[in-house]
Amino acid sequence: MTDKHKLEGMKMKIKTLISASLFAVLSYGSALAAEYPVIVADDRNIAVTFTEKPKNVAALNIVGADIMKAIGEKPIGVSSYGGEMPVYLEYDAKDYVDFGLLHQPNFELLTEQNVDLVIGLTAYNAPFAEEFVKIGKLLTYDIMNIEDSFRATNSVAKIFGQSEKAAELNDSFKELLNDYHEKSKPGQSAIFMWVYGDLMYAYYTEGIQGSFLQFLNTKNAMGSNLNALIDKHDIARPIDPEELLELNPDVIFSFRSEGNTYKNNPVFSKINAFKNKRAYHVGLQYTQPHGPIARDMIFKEMAHLLFPKTFEKPNIPAGAEAVALKFVD
Spans of all domains in the chain:
3-173, 184-328
Lowest-confidence segment of 15-24, 134-143, 210-219, 238-247 by average pLDDT: 15-24
pLDDT above 90 for 52: yes
Q: What is the pLDDT of residue 31?
A: 40
pLDDT per residue over 292-329, tens digit each? 999 999 999 999 999 999 999 999 999 999 999 999 87
pTM of this structure: 0.88
Instruction: Answer whether 3-173 and 184-328 agree in fold.
Output: yes
User: In CATH, what number does 3-173 get?
Assistant: 3.40.50.1980
The per-residue DSSP string of 171-182 comes to HHHHHHHHHHHH
Q: What is the pLDDT of residue 24?
A: 40
Alpha-carbon gap, residue 304 to 300, rounded angstroms:
6
Return the amino acid letter for 40: V
Alpha-carbon gap, residue 81 to 164, rounded angstroms:
31
> How many CB atoms are located within 10 Å of the residue 79 CB?
26
Once rounded to an integer, what is the mean pLDDT over residues 280-288? 95
3-state secondary structure at position 325 = coil
Alpha-carbon gap, residue 193 to 267, rounded angstroms:
17
Alpha-carbon gap, residue 127 to 91, rounded angstroms:
28
Class of domain 184-328 as given by CATH? alpha beta
Region at 31 (left for phi over 0; alpha for psi -120 to 50; beta for the rest): alpha
Contacts of residue 76, Cβ cutoff 8 Å, sequence gap at least 6: 56, 57, 58, 96, 97, 113, 115
95 falls in which pLDDT band (50, 70, 90)?
confident
Chain centroid to CA 317: how far? Answer: 17
